[in-house]
Structure 1
Amino acid sequence: MSEERNTVEQHYTKLEERMTNVETRLAVAESNIQDIKEDISSIKSNTTWILRLLIGAFIMALIALVIKDPSIL
């Protein structure tokens, strides 16, 4: 009976260690996910500004073209 109890206790200890390992890995994964969300938000913001700059450049080119040659209209 004592041997069986030792086996159960060892199994329980291993399960506790595995659970601790899983919890640690989960915490790291959650931290990484948060970092990735922040990076995506930053990329999204930069993309918005790049799009605004491109649209502004296109509009300025059209205005310059109209000023240079008003007969286009």
Structure 2
Amino acid sequence: MLHPEPTATPAFSATGWASASACGPNGGNCVEVNLTAPGRVGVRDSKRFTGDVLLNFDTTSWNRFLADMRAGSFDID
């Protein structure tokens, strides 16, 4: 099994985090997304607003993930 070398997390702007409007002003149990690092998408838990990036996608992988979600490719009953 190949294990890729870890890479540094790109610098996402602290003010670039966004969540769905359904989350409301207090965050709640939501996912936030940041598109401010070129070619990258940062994802974090809205309750961890100190800047911790939990997931770091390249834009191609992120777009594929969104397309699969919209197509119902994941069993998330």
Give the structure-2-normalised TM-score: 0.21
More strand by share: 2
More helix by share: 1
Give the structure-1-normalised TM-score: 0.22
Q: Whose radius of gyration is greater, 1 or 2?
A: 1
